[in-house]
């Protein structure tokens, strides 16, 4: 059989002999297997024995897996014996759970798993055995999730080293560029910005702060307000619970900044720490580590997860759809490590994130409206050289969310906006900068957070407006001479503030 599950059921008292469970046990096995497998497959009791208070049994099945049947078998056995003999089920333990399932390709490298197991591949099938599964693990479907993980890891190996899926949507219209230099270098030379004091964080002086706020105003007044988006204010800390639901926690654990809380706020508990600081004028790192707990949240990575949390369990009235909201308060924090580059790739940056929920038709229409408003900004106001590409993030291809080959591939998925940066080299030979994106994710998050429409299907999507990227793109193409800047932008920017001439 495809699947075999061997288990031990320990009763609260011994039974005289096997006849005490015959034909009860075979009948319960047959009924629970039939019920839990339904039309998906067939199962049977392969073997069973009784010694004193311990029932050992093996269930086999083809099609579906037999663990739900085992759980209800144990429950019903307890009920029956309770009624007949005042005996209950004390514990349920899995001794071995073997499943086989087809795999598209054999894995290129060994597939590791973090729980006790044996895994081999033969003739286009994987043979997986889990041992030491607790009753809770069985109930929580660890086996099904482990099978999914094996399939995902094989798929990931096949993708490794391959580029993210990318196909040009709208080509760029070439423009003449005043800008030649790396804008961050130029801003540093002018003392307009300063890097630090912690990794990947930048201090924006008055001029750059003004330019950054101008970009924000343009996004709000030219895109979000005309399309009827309402502002919300979102917290900066994201709960693990939320990121478990979106899949971010499993997708990006190495890109988060984690938040740790003090174990106590009582000065007495901190006295030794405080005294050491006073004497040494250093941070007593080990003392500090003792006094803070393990990470309990992360700093906002993107705003949409917590926006979905806000809507979780809610039903949205039809006349409020499509729901259009945006957050510009929570700051994005990402551990970019080796990829950091000036204001183009920071560890702390500012994004406006519009989030939208509606029927598939409403969102397809809204996307066209957003595309048109964005095009207006980049063509008429900022006068950029930009293009769009259809991309599907790796994690979406993995988690069975949005496949490239999906029938609705061109509705669900992500559009990246990219800009040519002259300082990096030629148009063809240099890497363009992704300065924003726009996604429709189908019902992935509305399902995960149980967000419903009063009537019909509810989809969602979001768009990441990277304000530092808008700014560096603009300066990289247009340069630093305000008289050269496009008319539309000059109107928005107004008078530049007086910066500080350091001595
Ligand atoms: P990248 O591929 O450049 O790392 P991403 O795919 O991680 O970008 P998203 O998570 O899709 O980016 O975020 C949306 C927008 O946020 C991007 O289009 C960009 O404008 C901005 N952004 C992302 N990472 C950074 C960063 N480290 N510094 C500045 N802006 C960023
Ligand atoms: Zn988002
Ligand atoms: Mg990134």
Whether the bond between 191 and the residue before it is cis, its omega within 30 degrees of 0, is: no
Q: Rounded to two decimals, what is the model's pTM?
A: 0.89
pLDDT given at position 407: 42
State the Cα–Cα distance between residues 244 and 249, nearest whole angstrom: 6
How far apart are the CA of 79 and the centre of ligand 1, in A?
57
Please list the active-site residues. Answer: 304, 334, 336, 345, 353, 416, 434, 437, 462, 469
Question: What is the per-residue burial (b if ≥16 Cβ within 10 Å, else e) of 176-201?
Answer: ebebeebbbebbbeeebbebeeeebe
State the Cα–Cα distance between residues 376 and 379, nearest whole angstrom: 5
Question: What is the per-residue burial (b if ≥16 Cβ within 10 Å, else e) of 13-31?
Answer: eebeeeeebeeebeebbbe
State the Cα–Cα distance between residues 10 and 193, nearest whole angstrom: 69
Using most ligand atoms within 8 A of CB, pick from 437, 438, 472 the residue to mutate for ligand 1: 437
CA 429 to chain centre: 32
How far apart are the CA of 4 and the centre of ligand 1, in A?
46
Angle between helices 467-478 and 206-219 (to 10 degrees): 110
Residues in the chain: 503
Closest CA to 474 of 378, 350, 346, 348: 378
Atom of ligand 1 nearest to the CA of 467: 20
Q: Using one digit for the tens of pLDDT, what is the confidence trace for 268-298?
A: 999 999 999 999 999 999 999 999 999 999 9
pLDDT given at position 403: 44
State the alpha helices, DSSP H only, in 335-466: 360-376, 394-398, 444-448
By the 8 A CB rule, do 416 and 278 touch? Answer: no
Closest Cα to atom 16 of ligand 1: 466
By the 8 A CB rule, do 74 and 9 touch? Answer: yes
| Run of H or E residues at 57 | strand 54-62
Instruction: Judge if the beta carbon of residue 469 lies within 6 A of ligand 1.
Output: yes
Atom of ligand 1 nearest to the CA of 433: 3
Atom of ligand 1 nearest to the CA of 414: 11
Q: Which two tokens stand for residue 382?
A: 């900022």
Q: In Å, how far are 236, 247, 500 from 503, measured between CA atoms?
A: 37, 50, 9
pLDDT given at position 408: 46
Instruction: Judge if the beta carbon of residue 53 lies within 6 A of ligand 1.
Output: no
pLDDT given at position 393: 52
Q: In Å, how far are 357, 365, 445, 461 from 322, measured between CA atoms?
A: 5, 10, 15, 11
479: left (phi over 0), alpha (psi -120 to 50) or beta: left
The domains found in the chain, sorted by start residue, are: 2-159 (3.30.70.1920), 165-238+302-493 (3.30.930.10)
Tell how strand 89-102 and strand 3-11 pair up: antiparallel
How far apart are the CA of 442 and the centre of ligand 2, in A?
13
* Ligand index nearest the alpha carbon of residue 347: 1
Tell how strand 42-51 and strand 54-62 pair up: antiparallel
Instruction: Judge if the beta carbon of residue 345 lies within 6 A of ligand 1.
Output: yes
pLDDT below 50 — which residues of the chain?
Answer: 395, 398-408
Residue that the structure tokens 């994710």 belong to: 441
Q: Using one digit for the tens of pLDDT, what is the confidence trace for 59-77?
A: 999 999 999 999 999 999 9
CB atoms within 10 A of CB 322: 21
State the Cα–Cα distance between residues 499 and 479, nearest whole angstrom: 18
Angle between helices 67-85 and 24-37 (to 10 degrees): 140
């Amino acid at each position: 059989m495809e699947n075999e599950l061997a288990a031990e059921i320990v009763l609260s008292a011994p039974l005289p002999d096997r006849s005490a469970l015959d034909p009860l046990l075979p009948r319960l096995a047959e009924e629970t297997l039939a019920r839990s497998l339904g039309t998906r497959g067939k199962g049977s009791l392969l073997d069973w024995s009784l010694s004193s208070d311990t029932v050992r049994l093996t269930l086999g099945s083809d099609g579906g897996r037999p663990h739900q049947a085992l759980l209800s078998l144990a429950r019903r056995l307890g009920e029956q014996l309770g009624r007949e003999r005042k005996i209950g089920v004390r514990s349920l333990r899995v001794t071995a759970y073997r499943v086989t399932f087809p795999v598209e390709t054999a894995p290129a490298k060994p597939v590791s798993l973090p729980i006790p197991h044996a895994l081999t591949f033969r003739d286009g099938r994987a043979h997986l055995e889990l041992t030491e599964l607790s009753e809770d693990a069985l109930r929580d479907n660890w086996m099904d999730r482990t099978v999914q993980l094996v399939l995902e890891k094989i798929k990931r190996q096949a993708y490794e080293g391959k580029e993210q899926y990318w196909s040009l949507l709208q080509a760029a219209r070439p423009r003449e560029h005043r800008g030649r230099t790396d804008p961050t270098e130029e801003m540093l030379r002018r003392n307009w910005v300063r890097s630090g004091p912690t990794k990947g964080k930048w201090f924006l002086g008055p001029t750059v702060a003004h330019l950054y706020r101008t970009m924000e105003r343009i996004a709000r007044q030219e895109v979000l307000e005309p399309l009827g988006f309402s502002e919300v204010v979102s917290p900066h800390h994201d709960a693990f619970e939320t990121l478990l639901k979106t899949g971010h926690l499993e997708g990006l654990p190495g890109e988060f900044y984690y938040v740790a809380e003090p174990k106590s706020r009582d000065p007495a508990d901190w006295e030794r720490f405080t005294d050491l600081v006073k004497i040494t004028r250093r941070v007593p790192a080990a003392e500090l580590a003792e006094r803070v707990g393990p990470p309990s949240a992360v700093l906002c990575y993107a705003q949409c997860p917590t926006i979905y949390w806000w809507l979780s369990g809610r039903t949205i009235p039809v006349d409020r759809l499509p729901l259009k909201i945006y957050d510009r308060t929570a700051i994005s924090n990402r551990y970019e490590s080796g990829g950091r580059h000036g204001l183009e790739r920071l560890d702390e940056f500012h994004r406006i994130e519009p989030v939208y929920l509606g029927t598939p038709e409403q969102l397809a229409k809204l996307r066209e409206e957003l595309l048109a408003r964005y095009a207006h900004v980049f063509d008429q106001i900022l006068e950029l050289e930009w293009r769009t590409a259809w991309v599907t993030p790796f994690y979406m291809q993995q988690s069975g969310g949005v496949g490239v080959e999906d029938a609705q591939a061109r509705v669900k998925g992500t559009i990246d906006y990219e800009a040519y940066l002259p300082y990096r080299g030629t148009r063809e030979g240099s890497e363009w900068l992704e300065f924003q994106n726009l996604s429709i994710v189908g019902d992935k998050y509305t399902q995960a957070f149980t967000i419903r429409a009063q009537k019909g299907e509810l989809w969602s999507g979001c768009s990441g407006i990277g304000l530092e990227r808008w700014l560096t793109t603009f300066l990289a193409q247009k340069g630093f001479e305000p008289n050269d800047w496009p008319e539309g932008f000059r109107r928005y920017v107004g008078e530049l503030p007086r910066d500080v001439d350091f001595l």
